[in-house]
Each structure stands twice: as structure tokens, then as C-alpha cells.
Amino acid sequence: MHEVLIDGETLTIENIVKVARENAKVVIPEKVKKRIRKSREVLENLIKKGQVIYGVNTGFGALSNVTIPSQFLKQLQVNLIRSHSAGVGESLSTDVVRALMLLRANTLAKGYSGVRLETLEAIVEMLNKGVHPMIPSKGSVGASGDLAPLSHMVLVLIGEGKAEYKGEIMSGREAMKKAGIKPVELEVKEGIALNNGTQLMSAIAALTVHDAENLIKTAEITAALTLEALLGVYDAFDEKIQKVRPHKGQATTAENIRALVDGSQLVQTGAQAMEKLHHPHDAYSLRCTPQVLGAARDAIEYARKVVEIEINSATDNPLVFPEEAMCLSGGNFHGQPISLAMDFLGIALAMVGNISERRITRLMDERLNNGLPAFLIPPEAKKGVSSGLMTVQYTAAALASENKILAHPACVDSIPTSANFEDFVSMGVAAAQKARQILENTQYIVAIELLCAAQAIEYRGAEKLGRGTKKAYEAVREKVSVLKEDRVLSEDIEKIKSLVESGEIVKVSLN
């Protein structure tokens, strides 16, 4: 089994996917164990000296001016977790929960949180044995981090709340008992070290970035197949054009499409198009594919860089600095970097869906599709009696329109909490969740384009396709048969969407 080491420094998005979706084993290196012990020792010494430390011997938020007597310090941490377990809505998916737990463990492994080693070990044991807290999806404003979701995670750690174990939902205490894990009794500072940070927004962000990278490649493959179905002009993808506007994403997209249609007998030069179709170049939804999808590529790359920094950061508060033997209170829990990046990513993915829907429309419209039948109605079916693929464009239009609403940025919003003490928040979870929904909507739109492009190719001849696009076409045909008469289409869309989501289209076409 693949192992993922957590050291607070080197975790990757690929590691997160392996743990979240493939149940890879999580391991704590010996150097981390030493680091954790040292951090805890420094914290305990500061407390013994009587130093006032926020959230350790004071109240929280607007109650930070209240000093807590020593006999209540442990109860303070338990009460924090219980009182902040105020999330609502549907539970998070298992992959997001596992990613969240891994990220919480990784930030503790940095050695700035002051927790005991056994607390970190218990979280890792929960991951490795498959104890998954039931965490409501709503309730975080993204500062002081993802308090409610993380508190629901910690409830199970201390033997409370609810969890999923081996496919069954049960009490947290029962799940821990069945898995053979001893619940943690929180000590000084451990509650605030566990529920203060950006792990939910970062978990969703990491998985979304991974899936977005797969989606943008799939969108390029789909665009190439549509280019051939519409007898598109090849000139726009020439390397010389990209070199004089050297955006990295644009060059990559153009290069990929050139490779995909290599050997195609369907694409043509501008001179050929002028002679046969009486226009020297295509509509923007085809001609500007490198510029549009390339810009989305660059946005995804930016999001990856932000997420990679965040998943290896100390984001709780206060932070213990062992070398200096001090504890400082700051704002690393604030989710603005993730919020902004996820809004940007969501906008980019909405754009990918928008241009895909425009290509779908061209495939449907007999005035624009260069000789294909209206709505790609099969020749053996009667036009009017049969509607062909007409209404799949409606679905794509609905999804694209929903994406436009979801693309409104969350990061520019803020609503004060804790009696205006926490007066500027990030809405990072909202941004990440919106990006995730836009991603899924766009996966469906691209799947619909694949369905339509493959049907259009039936009229052009699959044997004329390029090397890469032919493989994509064949992958679609393995899942969905040629449309010969009207049938229920939602099942076809779902089958192709599973191809898009799994990365199978990319695997067979670009590799």
C-alpha cells in the first residue's frame, strides 16, 4: 500500500488524493515526533511561568479578555469543541473528510501547535482505520478558520459526535471502540489547536484543483473533437501564433490540440476553408480555444500554487515557537488566500463551461455546423418527429447559466462575528464549495459536448480523425452507442461524465 508521510513541509495535492480517495496509509516520521514533543514542552513551561496565552488560559473571540483559572483549563478546551460544533446541512463527502483530517494532522506535524504527540497519533489512526467523522457542510465563515467543521471532526476524536465506520453511521464513541482507538482527553490548548485553521476550505480546494487539471485536459480533447466535427480551421493552433503571445497556458493548449488532431483528414487550412466553406477562419468558440482554455490553465496553476503553500502551513492560533520559547497570537487562520484562489478557479471553470456550451450550440444548428443535420438527428429518423440531441444543449445552457451565478466571488463578502471582534472574514469555504459545484457542472457540460461531437463524427467518418481524437471517440463509443433514434439521454450523459471525471479520456487520448 502507498504510504504518505506527514512532516508539515512536503505534502502534495497528489498525496491528498491518495489518502482521501485511495485510502493510502499515513505515517508520522520520527523527526516530527521529536518536534511535537519539544513544542509541547515549551508550551507547558510557558504556562507554568504564568504567562497569559490566548485560548489557553483566556476565553475565545470577544471573550479573550476573560482570564481562566487553572482548574478550568482542560474544561475550556472541551467546551470550545462542543460549543463550536454548530454546523448544519448535508454531511461532507468521505473524500473531503479524509482530506480535512490529513491536512489537520499535517499542520500539527509542523510543530507550532503545542499538542501532545498522542493527539496527533490518534487522528492518524482514525485515518488509517477508516473512522470518518460526520461533518456538516455549512457553518464556516473562514475565520478563525473552519471552526465548526473542524470541531465536528474533533468531537469524534474525543468520543462524541457521529462517525461513519465501515459503511455504517454510528456514535463517535462506538466507531472509535470498534476501530480499537482510544478517544483523546483534551489537555491545555489542544481544543483550539485542533479547530482553528483552514483545513476544510483547503481540503475542498486541493481536490478541486486536482480535478480541474484533469477537466481542462478533457476540455481540450473535447474541443479538438468538435473542431474536426465542424471541419475546423487548423491555422489558429499554429505554434507561431502562440509564440508571439507567450502565455504558458495558451501555448500548452494549442500544443495539445495539435497533437490530438495530428493525422486528421477533417481539419483544414484557412485557404481550404475559404474555397470550400467560403470563410477563412472559424468562430471564436473554435478559433480562440487556446486563448480561452489556456487562460483557464493559468488560473488553475495559480490556484495550485496557493493550495500547495496552504496545505503545508501552520494555520492555527496561537502558535508556539520552540526555538524562541515563545507563543504568539496572529491571524494565520484567515482563509483569504484560499478564498481568492477558489473564486478565481471557479470563474475559470465557468468560462470553460461557457465556451463548451457555445460549441455544442454550433454542432446543433444546421446553419452553423457545415453540413451536419439539425440537432444531429439520425438520417433514418424523421426530422420533427425526432428531436435528436436538441435538448442536451438545453441542459448545457442551464448548467452554464447556473455557473454564472455561482461565479460571483465569495472573497469580496464579509460578515462580522463574535460581537464584531472577528470583524472581517474570508468566506473561504463558500468559495471552495462554489468552485467545486462549478467544476461538477462543467464536467457535465464537457460530457455533453463529447456526446454531441461523437455523434457528429458519425457523419464525417471516424476513420478520418486525428490520432488522439480517435482514441477519445472510441472511449465514448465504448460507453454510449450511436444515436439512431430518440432515446432517454440523461443516462448517456452520466456515462460520459464518469469518463470525464475519472480521467479516462485524458489517459487514452493524451498519453
Task: Go through 22-50 and write b for each residue having 16 or more CB atoms within 10 A of its CB, e for each that does not.
Answer: eebebebeeebeebbeebbebbeebbeee
Cell numbers found for residue 363: 454542432
Q: What angle do CA 149, 155, 161 make, to 5 degrees?
A: 95
- pLDDT of 62 reads 81
pLDDT in tens, 162-175: 999 999 999 999 99
How many other β-carbons are positioned within 10 Å of the β-carbon of residue 463?
A: 8
Nearest to 135 by CA among 200, 188, 82: 200
* Sign (positive or negative) of CA dihedral 476, 478, 484, 489: negative
Whole-number average pLDDT of the chain: 95
- The domains located in the chain, with CATH, are 3-197 (1.10.275.10), 205-510 (1.20.200.10)
459 as an active site residue: the answer is no
**Distance of alpha carbon 113 from alpha carbon 100, whole angstroms:** 17
Instruction: Give the pairing type, strands 162-165 and 131-133.
Output: antiparallel
Cell numbers found for residue 329: 497570537
- pLDDT of 379 reads 82
Beta bridge partners of 163: 133, 170
3 state SS of 3: strand
Residue that has been written with the C-alpha cell 502565455 in this structure? 247
Q: Are 402 and 416 in contact (CB under 8 A)?
A: no
Question: DSSP E strands: which ranges in 365-424?
Answer: none
- pLDDT of 1 reads 64
**Distance of alpha carbon 286 from alpha carbon 369, whole angstroms:** 12
- pLDDT of 447 reads 98
Q: Are 480 and 493 in contact (CB under 8 A)?
A: no
Q: Are 17 and 307 in contact (CB under 8 A)?
A: no
Kindly give the parts of the chain with pLDDT less than 70: 1
Q: Where are the alpha helices (DSSP H) in 158-283?
A: 172-179, 190-195, 199-229, 239-243, 248-260, 270-277
Which position among 54, 112, 234, 473 bears the catalytic label? 54
- pLDDT of 384 reads 86
Residues sharing a CB contact under 8 Å with residue 162, sequence separation 6 or more, in sequence order: 133, 134, 156, 169, 170, 171, 172
